[in-house]
Chains A and B, each alone.
Chain A
Protein backbone atom coordinates (compact mmCIF):
# COMPACT_ATOMS: atom_id res chain seq x y z
CA UNK A 1 0.00 0.00 0.00
CA UNK A 2 1.58 3.25 -1.09
CA UNK A 3 -0.84 5.55 0.69
CA UNK A 4 -3.15 4.52 3.50
CA UNK A 5 -5.28 6.57 5.83
CA UNK A 6 -7.22 5.44 8.87
CA UNK A 7 -10.02 7.67 10.11
CA UNK A 8 -7.89 10.66 9.14
CA UNK A 9 -9.50 13.85 10.40
CA UNK A 10 -8.71 17.54 10.25
CA UNK A 11 -10.77 20.19 11.97
CA UNK A 12 -10.39 23.93 11.62
CA UNK A 13 -12.36 25.18 14.59
CA UNK A 14 -15.93 24.19 13.87
CA UNK A 15 -15.27 23.13 10.28
CA UNK A 16 -14.39 19.50 9.76
CA UNK A 17 -12.43 19.66 6.52
CA UNK A 18 -11.50 15.97 6.45
CA UNK A 19 -13.80 13.64 8.31
CA UNK A 20 -12.60 10.19 9.47
CA UNK A 21 -11.42 9.41 5.99
CA UNK A 22 -10.20 5.95 5.01
CA UNK A 23 -8.27 5.53 1.81
CA UNK A 24 -5.88 3.06 0.24
CA UNK A 25 -3.92 3.83 -2.89
CA UNK A 26 -2.03 1.08 -4.69
CA UNK A 27 1.46 1.34 -6.04
CA UNK A 28 1.70 2.63 -9.59
CA UNK A 29 -1.85 3.84 -10.00
CA UNK A 30 -3.13 7.27 -10.88
CA UNK A 31 -5.69 7.94 -8.21
CA UNK A 32 -8.11 10.84 -8.37
CA UNK A 33 -9.93 12.69 -5.64
CA UNK A 34 -12.92 14.30 -7.24
CA UNK A 35 -14.96 16.79 -5.32
CA UNK A 36 -16.29 20.34 -5.29
CA UNK A 37 -14.50 23.28 -3.74
CA UNK A 38 -14.29 22.96 -0.01
CA UNK A 39 -14.62 19.17 -0.08
CA UNK A 40 -11.35 18.82 1.80
CA UNK A 41 -9.05 17.71 -1.02
CA UNK A 42 -6.28 20.20 -0.38
CA UNK A 43 -6.47 19.63 3.35
CA UNK A 44 -6.10 15.89 2.80
CA UNK A 45 -3.07 16.35 0.55
CA UNK A 46 -1.52 18.85 2.95
CA UNK A 47 -1.72 16.27 5.72
CA UNK A 48 -0.28 13.54 3.53
CA UNK A 49 2.68 15.71 2.56
CA UNK A 50 3.23 16.61 6.25
CA UNK A 51 2.70 20.35 6.12
CA UNK A 52 -0.50 20.04 8.14
CA UNK A 53 -0.94 17.95 11.26
CA UNK A 54 -4.07 15.79 11.49
CA UNK A 55 -6.51 16.43 14.31
CA UNK A 56 -6.93 12.69 14.71
CA UNK A 57 -6.54 9.45 12.80
CA UNK A 58 -3.43 8.10 11.13
CA UNK A 59 -1.90 7.88 7.68
CA UNK A 60 1.08 6.28 6.01
CA UNK A 61 2.83 7.41 2.86
CA UNK A 62 5.27 5.00 1.29
CA UNK A 63 4.95 3.01 4.52
CA UNK A 64 5.95 5.92 6.76
CA UNK A 65 3.73 7.45 9.40
CA UNK A 66 3.01 11.06 8.44
CA UNK A 67 3.18 12.31 12.03
CA UNK A 68 6.02 10.21 13.40
CA UNK A 69 8.28 10.08 10.35
CA UNK A 70 7.63 13.25 8.37
CA UNK A 71 11.23 13.38 7.18
CA UNK A 72 11.00 9.98 5.52
CA UNK A 73 7.64 10.84 4.02
CA UNK A 74 9.13 13.98 2.51
CA UNK A 75 11.94 12.02 0.95
CA UNK A 76 9.38 9.83 -0.82
CA UNK A 77 7.14 12.44 -2.36
CA UNK A 78 6.90 15.16 -4.94
CA UNK A 79 4.12 17.69 -4.89
CA UNK A 80 2.50 20.25 -7.12
CA UNK A 81 0.49 22.61 -4.96
CA UNK A 82 -2.85 24.06 -5.90
CA UNK A 83 -1.37 27.53 -5.54
CA UNK A 84 1.69 28.11 -7.66
CA UNK A 85 4.81 28.04 -5.53
CA UNK A 86 7.54 28.67 -8.09
CA UNK A 87 9.55 31.78 -7.46
CA UNK A 88 8.74 34.70 -9.74
CA UNK A 89 12.06 36.46 -9.45
CA UNK A 90 14.06 33.40 -10.37
CA UNK A 91 14.37 31.82 -13.79
CA UNK A 92 12.82 28.47 -14.50
CA UNK A 93 16.22 26.85 -14.35
CA UNK A 94 17.09 28.53 -11.06
CA UNK A 95 13.86 27.28 -9.54
CA UNK A 96 14.77 23.77 -10.57
CA UNK A 97 18.34 24.14 -9.32
CA UNK A 98 17.09 25.14 -5.87
CA UNK A 99 14.80 22.15 -5.85
CA UNK A 100 17.76 19.90 -6.63
CA UNK A 101 19.53 21.22 -3.55
CA UNK A 102 16.51 20.98 -1.30
CA UNK A 103 15.53 17.49 -2.40
CA UNK A 104 18.97 15.95 -2.26
CA UNK A 105 19.50 15.12 -5.91
CA UNK A 106 23.09 13.84 -6.20
CA UNK A 107 25.45 16.49 -7.46
CA UNK A 108 26.69 14.52 -10.46
CA UNK A 109 23.28 14.23 -12.10
CA UNK A 110 21.75 17.63 -11.25
CA UNK A 111 22.35 19.34 -14.58
CA UNK A 112 21.17 16.33 -16.47
CA UNK A 113 17.98 16.05 -14.40
CA UNK A 114 17.15 19.68 -15.02
CA UNK A 115 17.52 19.26 -18.76
CA UNK A 116 15.56 16.04 -18.65
CA UNK A 117 12.50 17.52 -16.97
CA UNK A 118 12.66 20.72 -18.98
CA UNK A 119 12.43 18.58 -22.09
CA UNK A 120 9.52 16.62 -20.72
CA UNK A 121 7.44 19.74 -20.09
CA UNK A 122 8.71 21.51 -23.18
CA UNK A 123 10.23 24.49 -21.45
CA UNK A 124 13.80 24.25 -22.72
CA UNK A 125 13.64 27.46 -24.70
CA UNK A 126 12.25 29.53 -21.84
CA UNK A 127 14.27 27.94 -19.06
CA UNK A 128 16.49 30.97 -18.56
CA UNK A 129 13.71 33.54 -18.51
CA UNK A 130 12.29 34.84 -15.27
CA UNK A 131 9.17 33.03 -14.16
CA UNK A 132 7.24 36.29 -13.98
CA UNK A 133 7.30 36.32 -17.78
CA UNK A 134 5.66 32.89 -18.00
CA UNK A 135 2.02 32.20 -18.83
CA UNK A 136 -0.16 30.30 -16.39
CA UNK A 137 0.28 27.10 -18.34
CA UNK A 138 4.05 27.45 -18.42
CA UNK A 139 4.20 27.95 -14.67
CA UNK A 140 2.09 24.89 -14.16
CA UNK A 141 4.42 22.91 -16.39
CA UNK A 142 7.44 24.23 -14.52
CA UNK A 143 5.87 23.14 -11.23
CA UNK A 144 5.19 19.75 -12.67
CA UNK A 145 8.79 19.48 -13.83
CA UNK A 146 9.95 20.47 -10.38
CA UNK A 147 7.63 18.00 -8.68
CA UNK A 148 9.07 15.04 -10.59
CA UNK A 149 12.68 16.10 -10.86
CA UNK A 150 13.90 14.18 -7.84
CA UNK A 151 12.09 11.05 -9.06
CA UNK A 152 9.67 10.72 -6.18
CA UNK A 153 7.94 7.43 -5.56
CA UNK A 154 4.69 9.25 -5.00
CA UNK A 155 3.51 12.40 -6.71
CA UNK A 156 0.77 14.60 -5.29
CA UNK A 157 -0.97 16.91 -7.72
CA UNK A 158 -3.45 19.38 -6.26
CA UNK A 159 -5.69 20.60 -9.06
CA UNK A 160 -2.90 20.33 -11.62
CA UNK A 161 -4.86 22.07 -14.37
CA UNK A 162 -6.91 24.57 -12.38
CA UNK A 163 -7.68 27.63 -14.43
CA UNK A 164 -5.87 26.45 -17.56
CA UNK A 165 -7.28 26.48 -21.06
CA UNK A 166 -8.48 23.12 -22.43
CA UNK A 167 -5.53 22.68 -24.75
CA UNK A 168 -2.89 23.16 -22.09
CA UNK A 169 -4.93 20.95 -19.84
CA UNK A 170 -4.79 18.06 -22.26
CA UNK A 171 -1.06 18.56 -22.71
CA UNK A 172 -0.58 18.28 -19.01
CA UNK A 173 -2.71 15.16 -18.83
CA UNK A 174 -0.48 13.58 -21.42
CA UNK A 175 2.63 14.50 -19.44
CA UNK A 176 1.23 13.07 -16.25
CA UNK A 177 0.27 9.79 -17.89
CA UNK A 178 3.59 9.45 -19.61
CA UNK A 179 5.49 10.27 -16.47
CA UNK A 180 3.56 7.91 -14.29
CA UNK A 181 4.42 5.14 -16.70
CA UNK A 182 8.02 6.05 -17.30
CA UNK A 183 8.93 6.63 -13.69
CA UNK A 184 6.61 4.00 -12.19
CA UNK A 185 5.19 6.66 -9.95
CA UNK A 186 2.06 6.53 -7.90
CA UNK A 187 0.04 9.66 -8.53
CA UNK A 188 -2.59 11.08 -6.21
CA UNK A 189 -4.35 14.00 -7.81
CA UNK A 190 -7.28 16.16 -6.85
CA UNK A 191 -9.64 17.82 -9.24
CA UNK A 192 -13.08 19.22 -9.58
CA UNK A 193 -13.03 18.67 -13.34
CA UNK A 194 -14.95 15.60 -14.44
CA UNK A 195 -13.00 15.07 -17.63
CA UNK A 196 -9.77 15.17 -15.74
CA UNK A 197 -10.85 12.36 -13.44
CA UNK A 198 -12.26 10.34 -16.34
CA UNK A 199 -9.33 10.70 -18.69
CA UNK A 200 -6.49 10.42 -16.29
CA UNK A 201 -7.34 8.26 -13.35
CA UNK A 202 -7.26 4.52 -12.84
CA UNK A 203 -9.48 4.94 -9.82
CA UNK A 204 -11.50 7.84 -8.55
CA UNK A 205 -12.80 8.63 -5.08
CA UNK A 206 -15.69 11.02 -4.91
CA UNK A 207 -15.14 13.23 -1.92
CA UNK A 208 -17.67 15.53 -0.35
CA UNK A 209 -17.69 17.20 3.07
CA UNK A 210 -14.41 15.50 3.90
CA UNK A 211 -15.70 11.98 3.36
CA UNK A 212 -15.43 9.50 0.52
CA UNK A 213 -18.84 8.97 -1.01
CA UNK A 214 -17.83 6.40 -3.62
CA UNK A 215 -14.65 4.85 -4.94
CA UNK A 216 -13.96 2.84 -8.08
CA UNK A 217 -12.63 3.07 -11.62
CA UNK A 218 -14.38 5.81 -13.61
CA UNK A 219 -16.09 3.23 -15.81
CA UNK A 220 -17.25 1.12 -12.92
CA UNK A 221 -18.55 4.17 -11.11
CA UNK A 222 -20.50 5.26 -14.12
CA UNK A 223 -22.01 1.90 -14.85
CA UNK A 224 -22.73 1.37 -11.18
CA UNK A 225 -24.99 4.34 -10.79
CA UNK A 226 -25.20 6.31 -13.97
CA UNK A 227 -25.23 3.79 -16.82
CA UNK A 228 -26.71 5.66 -19.77
CA UNK A 229 -29.22 8.41 -19.43
CA UNK A 230 -32.25 8.41 -21.69
CA UNK A 231 -34.36 11.53 -21.68
CA UNK A 232 -37.87 11.28 -23.10
CA UNK A 233 -41.03 13.31 -23.19
CA UNK A 234 -44.11 11.14 -22.90
CA UNK A 235 -47.46 12.29 -24.22
CA UNK A 236 -49.10 10.45 -21.37
CA UNK A 237 -46.78 10.64 -18.37
CA UNK A 238 -46.35 7.21 -16.81
CA UNK A 239 -43.24 7.03 -14.71
CA UNK A 240 -44.41 4.06 -12.67
CA UNK A 241 -44.48 1.48 -15.45
CA UNK A 242 -41.02 2.58 -16.57
CA UNK A 243 -39.62 2.20 -13.09
CA UNK A 244 -40.84 -1.40 -13.12
CA UNK A 245 -38.58 -2.38 -16.05
CA UNK A 246 -35.71 -4.42 -14.64
CA UNK A 247 -32.90 -2.62 -16.51
CA UNK A 248 -34.04 0.79 -15.34
CA UNK A 249 -31.93 2.00 -12.43
CA UNK A 250 -33.57 5.29 -11.79
CA UNK A 251 -36.30 7.41 -13.33
CA UNK A 252 -36.98 11.01 -12.48
CA UNK A 253 -39.54 13.50 -13.72
CA UNK A 254 -38.20 17.02 -14.11
CA UNK A 255 -40.38 19.67 -15.72
CA UNK A 256 -42.24 17.19 -17.88
CA UNK A 257 -39.09 15.47 -19.06
CA UNK A 258 -38.35 11.99 -17.86
CA UNK A 259 -34.72 11.23 -17.06
CA UNK A 260 -34.14 7.50 -17.08
CA UNK A 261 -30.87 5.88 -16.08
CA UNK A 262 -30.52 2.47 -17.69
CA UNK A 263 -27.76 -0.09 -17.63
CA UNK A 264 -27.02 -0.42 -21.34
CA UNK A 265 -28.78 1.80 -23.78
CA UNK A 266 -27.46 -0.14 -26.77
CA UNK A 267 -29.27 -3.22 -25.57
CA UNK A 268 -32.40 -1.89 -23.93
CA UNK A 269 -33.30 1.32 -25.72
CA UNK A 270 -35.70 -0.34 -28.14
CA UNK A 271 -37.53 -2.10 -25.36
CA UNK A 272 -37.65 1.04 -23.26
CA UNK A 273 -39.17 3.10 -26.03
CA UNK A 274 -41.75 0.45 -26.85
CA UNK A 275 -42.80 0.59 -23.19
CA UNK A 276 -43.05 4.36 -23.08
CA UNK A 277 -46.15 4.91 -25.16
CA UNK A 278 -46.18 7.76 -27.67
CA UNK A 279 -43.29 10.17 -27.15
CA UNK A 280 -42.45 13.64 -28.47
CA UNK A 281 -38.76 13.71 -27.70
CA UNK A 282 -35.90 11.37 -27.02
CA UNK A 283 -32.22 11.87 -26.24
CA UNK A 284 -29.60 9.35 -25.20
CA UNK A 285 -26.28 10.13 -23.63
CA UNK A 286 -23.65 8.21 -21.76
CA UNK A 287 -23.64 8.72 -18.04
CA UNK A 288 -20.92 10.96 -16.69
CA UNK A 289 -19.15 11.26 -13.43
CA UNK A 290 -21.35 14.25 -12.87
CA UNK A 291 -24.32 11.88 -12.71
CA UNK A 292 -22.37 9.74 -10.29
CA UNK A 293 -21.56 12.74 -8.20
CA UNK A 294 -25.17 13.85 -8.24
CA UNK A 295 -26.25 10.41 -7.21
CA UNK A 296 -23.98 10.18 -4.20
CA UNK A 297 -24.11 13.72 -2.96
CA UNK A 298 -27.40 15.05 -4.20
CA UNK A 299 -25.58 18.05 -5.65
CA UNK A 300 -23.82 18.94 -8.86
CA UNK A 301 -20.16 19.77 -8.89
CA UNK A 302 -19.97 23.43 -9.63
CA UNK A 303 -17.67 23.88 -12.56
CA UNK A 304 -17.59 27.54 -11.67
CA UNK A 305 -14.11 28.92 -11.37
CA UNK A 306 -12.49 27.76 -8.25
CA UNK A 307 -10.77 29.47 -5.42
CA UNK A 308 -7.47 31.19 -6.05
CA UNK A 309 -6.24 31.27 -9.63
CA UNK A 310 -2.76 32.36 -10.50
CA UNK A 311 -3.90 35.84 -11.16
CA UNK A 312 -4.72 36.55 -7.56
CA UNK A 313 -1.08 36.11 -6.92
CA UNK A 314 0.09 38.97 -9.04
CA UNK A 315 1.44 40.77 -6.03
CA UNK A 316 4.85 39.40 -5.47
CA UNK A 317 7.23 40.20 -2.71
Chain B
Protein backbone atom coordinates (compact mmCIF):
# COMPACT_ATOMS: atom_id res chain seq x y z
CA UNK B 1 0.00 0.00 0.00
CA UNK B 2 2.54 2.55 1.06
CA UNK B 3 4.90 1.34 -1.66
CA UNK B 4 2.15 1.97 -4.19
CA UNK B 5 1.70 5.46 -2.81
CA UNK B 6 5.45 5.96 -3.08
CA UNK B 7 5.39 4.93 -6.75
CA UNK B 8 2.41 7.20 -7.29
CA UNK B 9 4.18 10.13 -5.59
CA UNK B 10 7.30 9.78 -7.72
CA UNK B 11 5.25 9.42 -10.88
CA UNK B 12 2.97 12.33 -9.99
CA UNK B 13 5.92 14.65 -9.57
CA UNK B 14 7.32 13.63 -12.96
CA UNK B 15 3.96 14.06 -14.66
CA UNK B 16 3.37 17.51 -13.17
CA UNK B 17 6.80 18.71 -14.16
CA UNK B 18 6.39 17.35 -17.67
CA UNK B 19 3.19 19.29 -18.13
CA UNK B 20 4.72 22.46 -16.75
CA UNK B 21 7.84 22.47 -18.87
CA UNK B 22 6.54 23.93 -22.07
CA UNK B 23 9.75 23.26 -24.02
CA UNK B 24 9.41 19.58 -23.41
CA UNK B 25 5.80 19.51 -24.51
CA UNK B 26 6.50 21.51 -27.64
CA UNK B 27 9.48 19.45 -28.75
CA UNK B 28 7.39 16.37 -28.08
CA UNK B 29 4.97 17.50 -30.81
CA UNK B 30 7.45 18.91 -33.27
CA UNK B 31 10.11 16.24 -33.59
CA UNK B 32 7.80 13.44 -34.80
CA UNK B 33 6.13 15.87 -37.22
CA UNK B 34 9.53 16.62 -38.71
CA UNK B 35 10.33 12.96 -39.16
CA UNK B 36 7.03 12.00 -40.72
CA UNK B 37 6.67 14.94 -43.07
CA UNK B 38 10.29 15.94 -43.53
CA UNK B 39 11.93 12.56 -43.76
CA UNK B 40 9.04 10.30 -44.71
CA UNK B 41 7.46 12.82 -47.05
CA UNK B 42 10.73 14.06 -48.53
CA UNK B 43 12.41 10.74 -49.08
CA UNK B 44 9.09 9.18 -49.92
CA UNK B 45 8.77 11.36 -53.01
CA UNK B 46 11.85 9.72 -54.53
CA UNK B 47 11.66 6.21 -53.04
CA UNK B 48 9.47 3.56 -54.60
CA UNK B 49 6.69 2.16 -52.49
CA UNK B 50 7.85 -0.48 -50.02
CA UNK B 51 6.08 -3.76 -49.43
CA UNK B 52 3.07 -2.31 -51.17
CA UNK B 53 2.82 0.82 -49.02
CA UNK B 54 3.89 4.40 -49.76
CA UNK B 55 7.24 5.06 -48.06
CA UNK B 56 5.67 7.52 -45.61
CA UNK B 57 3.22 4.86 -44.49
CA UNK B 58 5.90 2.17 -44.44
CA UNK B 59 8.11 4.08 -42.04
CA UNK B 60 5.25 5.31 -39.85
CA UNK B 61 5.52 2.40 -37.38
CA UNK B 62 9.30 2.93 -37.35
CA UNK B 63 8.87 6.61 -36.60
CA UNK B 64 6.57 5.73 -33.73
CA UNK B 65 9.21 3.42 -32.32
CA UNK B 66 11.91 5.97 -32.92
CA UNK B 67 10.03 8.74 -31.15
CA UNK B 68 9.45 6.49 -28.17
CA UNK B 69 13.11 5.43 -28.27
CA UNK B 70 14.50 8.97 -28.22
CA UNK B 71 12.18 10.34 -25.57
CA UNK B 72 12.54 7.29 -23.37
CA UNK B 73 16.32 7.03 -23.52
CA UNK B 74 16.91 10.73 -22.96
CA UNK B 75 14.57 10.76 -20.01
CA UNK B 76 17.40 9.17 -18.02
CA UNK B 77 19.25 12.48 -18.03
CA UNK B 78 16.73 13.96 -15.61
CA UNK B 79 17.87 11.60 -12.92
CA UNK B 80 21.32 13.20 -13.20
CA UNK B 81 19.88 16.70 -12.92
CA UNK B 82 17.75 15.61 -10.01
CA UNK B 83 20.83 14.38 -8.22
CA UNK B 84 22.91 17.40 -9.12
CA UNK B 85 20.25 19.74 -7.80
CA UNK B 86 19.44 17.55 -4.83
CA UNK B 87 15.76 17.13 -5.70
CA UNK B 88 16.27 13.41 -5.47
CA UNK B 89 17.50 13.34 -1.87
CA UNK B 90 14.02 13.87 -0.50
CA UNK B 91 12.92 10.72 -2.30
CA UNK B 92 16.03 8.70 -1.47
CA UNK B 93 15.64 9.35 2.24
CA UNK B 94 11.94 8.49 2.26
CA UNK B 95 10.81 5.15 3.69
CA UNK B 96 10.03 3.88 0.19
CA UNK B 97 12.01 1.08 -1.42
CA UNK B 98 14.37 1.90 -4.25
CA UNK B 99 12.45 -0.49 -6.44
CA UNK B 100 9.41 1.74 -5.99
CA UNK B 101 11.42 4.88 -6.69
CA UNK B 102 12.65 3.24 -9.86
CA UNK B 103 9.14 2.17 -10.81
CA UNK B 104 7.82 5.71 -10.28
CA UNK B 105 10.56 7.24 -12.42
CA UNK B 106 10.13 4.58 -15.08
CA UNK B 107 6.41 5.20 -15.31
CA UNK B 108 7.12 8.93 -15.41
CA UNK B 109 9.37 8.44 -18.44
CA UNK B 110 6.89 6.09 -20.08
CA UNK B 111 4.19 8.73 -19.57
CA UNK B 112 6.28 11.30 -21.44
CA UNK B 113 6.71 8.89 -24.31
CA UNK B 114 3.09 7.79 -24.40
CA UNK B 115 1.88 11.39 -24.59
CA UNK B 116 3.87 11.59 -27.81
CA UNK B 117 2.35 8.36 -29.00
CA UNK B 118 -1.06 9.95 -28.70
CA UNK B 119 0.06 12.84 -30.92
CA UNK B 120 1.47 10.36 -33.40
CA UNK B 121 -1.75 8.41 -33.55
CA UNK B 122 -3.64 11.62 -34.26
CA UNK B 123 -1.16 12.47 -37.03
CA UNK B 124 -1.60 8.94 -38.34
CA UNK B 125 -5.25 9.59 -39.07
CA UNK B 126 -4.29 12.51 -41.28
CA UNK B 127 -1.86 10.52 -43.39
CA UNK B 128 -4.35 7.66 -43.79
CA UNK B 129 -2.66 4.99 -41.71
CA UNK B 130 -5.03 1.98 -41.67
CA UNK B 131 -6.12 2.26 -38.02
CA UNK B 132 -8.86 0.28 -36.33
CA UNK B 133 -9.66 0.55 -32.61
CA UNK B 134 -7.98 -2.81 -32.00
CA UNK B 135 -4.88 -1.74 -33.92
CA UNK B 136 -4.66 1.41 -31.83
CA UNK B 137 -4.91 -0.50 -28.58
CA UNK B 138 -2.34 -3.07 -29.65
CA UNK B 139 0.02 -0.41 -30.93
CA UNK B 140 -0.33 1.56 -27.73
CA UNK B 141 0.45 -1.45 -25.53
CA UNK B 142 3.39 -2.48 -27.68
CA UNK B 143 4.86 1.01 -27.58
CA UNK B 144 4.38 1.07 -23.83
CA UNK B 145 6.45 -2.09 -23.55
CA UNK B 146 9.15 -0.60 -25.79
CA UNK B 147 9.10 2.59 -23.77
CA UNK B 148 9.46 0.73 -20.48
CA UNK B 149 12.49 -1.10 -21.82
CA UNK B 150 14.11 2.05 -23.21
CA UNK B 151 13.36 4.27 -20.21
CA UNK B 152 14.98 1.60 -18.09
CA UNK B 153 18.17 1.72 -20.19
CA UNK B 154 18.21 5.50 -19.80
CA UNK B 155 17.71 5.28 -16.05
CA UNK B 156 20.42 2.64 -15.68
CA UNK B 157 22.87 4.90 -17.49
CA UNK B 158 21.67 8.02 -15.66
CA UNK B 159 21.89 6.39 -12.25
CA UNK B 160 25.49 5.40 -12.87
CA UNK B 161 26.75 8.72 -14.23
CA UNK B 162 27.38 12.10 -12.66
CA UNK B 163 27.40 14.48 -15.61
CA UNK B 164 24.68 15.27 -18.13
CA UNK B 165 27.35 15.67 -20.83
CA UNK B 166 28.62 12.18 -20.21
CA UNK B 167 25.07 10.95 -20.43
CA UNK B 168 24.48 12.52 -23.83
CA UNK B 169 27.71 11.03 -25.12
CA UNK B 170 26.89 7.52 -24.02
CA UNK B 171 23.25 7.67 -24.96
CA UNK B 172 24.20 8.66 -28.50
CA UNK B 173 26.34 5.55 -28.74
CA UNK B 174 23.37 3.49 -27.62
CA UNK B 175 20.63 5.28 -29.47
CA UNK B 176 21.85 5.68 -33.04
CA UNK B 177 23.07 2.11 -33.59
CA UNK B 178 19.87 0.81 -32.03
CA UNK B 179 17.85 3.00 -34.33
CA UNK B 180 19.75 2.37 -37.57
CA UNK B 181 19.92 -1.38 -37.10
CA UNK B 182 16.32 -1.82 -36.11
CA UNK B 183 14.71 -1.82 -39.51
CA UNK B 184 12.84 1.36 -38.72
CA UNK B 185 13.81 2.93 -42.04
CA UNK B 186 14.25 -0.17 -44.21
CA UNK B 187 13.15 -3.82 -44.03
CA UNK B 188 15.50 -6.24 -42.29
CA UNK B 189 14.79 -9.16 -44.59
CA UNK B 190 17.48 -8.53 -47.24
CA UNK B 191 20.60 -7.44 -45.35
CA UNK B 192 24.06 -9.03 -45.50
CA UNK B 193 25.10 -11.53 -42.78
CA UNK B 194 26.96 -8.91 -40.71
CA UNK B 195 24.20 -6.39 -40.60
CA UNK B 196 21.52 -8.96 -40.02
CA UNK B 197 23.49 -10.36 -37.05
CA UNK B 198 23.53 -6.90 -35.49
CA UNK B 199 19.87 -6.48 -36.28
CA UNK B 200 18.95 -9.71 -34.60
CA UNK B 201 20.59 -8.87 -31.29
CA UNK B 202 19.09 -5.39 -31.28
CA UNK B 203 16.00 -5.46 -29.03
CA UNK B 204 14.49 -2.59 -30.95
CA UNK B 205 14.31 -4.70 -34.11
CA UNK B 206 11.59 -6.72 -32.43
CA UNK B 207 9.75 -3.58 -31.44
CA UNK B 208 9.78 -2.24 -34.98
CA UNK B 209 8.78 -5.61 -36.38
CA UNK B 210 5.89 -5.89 -33.95
CA UNK B 211 4.66 -2.39 -34.73
CA UNK B 212 4.85 -2.98 -38.46
CA UNK B 213 2.97 -6.21 -37.95
CA UNK B 214 0.28 -4.56 -35.87
CA UNK B 215 -0.25 -1.55 -38.11
CA UNK B 216 0.69 -2.72 -41.61
CA UNK B 217 0.47 -6.50 -41.30
CA UNK B 218 4.08 -6.95 -42.38
CA UNK B 219 5.86 -9.31 -40.00
CA UNK B 220 9.34 -10.70 -40.25
CA UNK B 221 9.14 -12.62 -36.95
CA UNK B 222 6.08 -14.09 -35.24
CA UNK B 223 4.54 -11.38 -33.10
CA UNK B 224 4.79 -13.51 -29.96
CA UNK B 225 8.54 -13.73 -30.48
CA UNK B 226 8.68 -9.94 -30.76
CA UNK B 227 6.74 -9.49 -27.55
CA UNK B 228 8.73 -12.13 -25.71
CA UNK B 229 12.10 -10.73 -26.80
CA UNK B 230 11.16 -7.22 -25.74
CA UNK B 231 9.59 -8.30 -22.48
CA UNK B 232 12.68 -10.29 -21.60
CA UNK B 233 14.90 -7.36 -22.43
CA UNK B 234 12.68 -4.96 -20.44
CA UNK B 235 12.80 -7.30 -17.44
CA UNK B 236 16.60 -7.38 -17.60
CA UNK B 237 16.82 -3.60 -17.79
CA UNK B 238 14.38 -3.16 -14.90
CA UNK B 239 16.50 -5.52 -12.83
CA UNK B 240 19.64 -3.56 -13.66
CA UNK B 241 17.81 -0.30 -12.98
CA UNK B 242 16.60 -1.33 -9.54
CA UNK B 243 20.11 -2.50 -8.71
CA UNK B 244 21.55 0.84 -9.85
CA UNK B 245 19.01 2.78 -7.80
CA UNK B 246 19.89 0.74 -4.73
CA UNK B 247 23.48 1.86 -5.04
CA UNK B 248 22.52 5.51 -5.37
Taking a contact as CB atoms closer than 8 A, the residue among B2, B85, B88, B92 that contacts A313 in the complex is B85
Could you tell me which residues of chain A, from 90 to 114, have a CB within 8 Å of some CB in chain B? Answer: 90, 94, 98-99, 101-104
Cβ contacts under 8 Å, B78 to chain A? 317
Could you tell me which residues of chain B, from 5 to 30, have a CB within 8 Å of some CB in chain A? Answer: 5-6, 8-10, 12-13, 16-17, 20-21
For residue A256, CB closer than 8 A to chain B, the reply is no
Contact indicator A75/B86 (Cβ below 8 Å): no
Contact indicator A51/B21 (Cβ below 8 Å): no
Contact indicator B95/A84 (Cβ below 8 Å): no
Quote the shortest CB–CB distance from A237 to chain B (angstroms).
54
For residue B224, CB closer than 8 A to chain A, the reply is no
- The complex places the Cα of A79 from the Cα of B89 at a distance, in Å, of 10
Taking residues whose C-beta sits less than 8 angstroms from the other chain, chain A's interface range is 20 to 34
A101-B8, A104-B95 as given contacts; A89 in contact with B20, CB under 8 Å: yes
For residue A198, CB closer than 8 A to chain B, the reply is no
Question: Which chain B residue has the least Cβ–Cβ distance from A73?
Answer: B95
For residue B134, CB closer than 8 A to chain A, the reply is no
For residue A83, CB closer than 8 A to chain B, the reply is yes
Contact indicator B94/A85 (Cβ below 8 Å): no
Instruction: Please report whether the interface of chain B is mostly helix, strand, loop or mixed according to DSSP.
Output: helix
Contact indicator B13/A98 (Cβ below 8 Å): yes
**Which of A49, A51, A74, A98 counts the most B-chain CB atoms under 10 A from its CB?**
A98
- The complex places the Cα of A51 from the Cα of B12 at a distance, in Å, of 23
One digit per residue, 1 when the CB lies within 8 angstroms of any chain A CB and 0 when it does not, for chain B 82-101 equals 10011111111111110000
- The complex places the Cα of A85 from the Cα of B87 at a distance, in Å, of 5
Contact indicator B86/A85 (Cβ below 8 Å): yes
Cβ contacts under 8 Å, B81 to chain A? 317
Contact indicator A87/B96 (Cβ below 8 Å): no
For residue A254, CB closer than 8 A to chain B, the reply is no
Cβ contacts under 8 Å, A313 to chain B? 85-86
For residue A71, CB closer than 8 A to chain B, the reply is yes
Contact indicator B13/A103 (Cβ below 8 Å): no
A89-B17, A101-B9, A317-B82 as given contacts; A49 in contact with B93, CB under 8 Å: yes
Cβ contacts under 8 Å, B17 to chain A? 87, 89-90, 317
- The complex places the Cα of A75 from the Cα of B97 at a distance, in Å, of 12
Contact indicator A103/B20 (Cβ below 8 Å): no
Taking a contact as CB atoms closer than 8 A, the residue among A74, A77, A90 that contacts B13 in the complex is A90
Taking a contact as CB atoms closer than 8 A, the residue among A79, A89, A90 that contacts B21 in the complex is A89
For residue A14, CB closer than 8 A to chain B, the reply is no
Contact indicator B93/A79 (Cβ below 8 Å): yes
For residue A81, CB closer than 8 A to chain B, the reply is yes
Cβ contacts under 8 Å, A51 to chain B? 89, 92-93
- The complex places the Cα of A6 from the Cα of B90 at a distance, in Å, of 26
Could you tell me which residues of chain B, from 61 to 114, have a CB within 8 Å of some CB in chain A? Answer: 78, 81-82, 85-97
Question: Which chain A residue has the least Cβ–Cβ distance from B16?
Answer: A90
Beyond the given A85-B86, A102-B96, could you list 9 further A-B residue pairs with CB under 8 A, ordered by the A residue number?
A81-B90, A83-B85, A83-B86, A84-B86, A89-B16, A89-B17, A101-B5, A313-B86, A316-B85
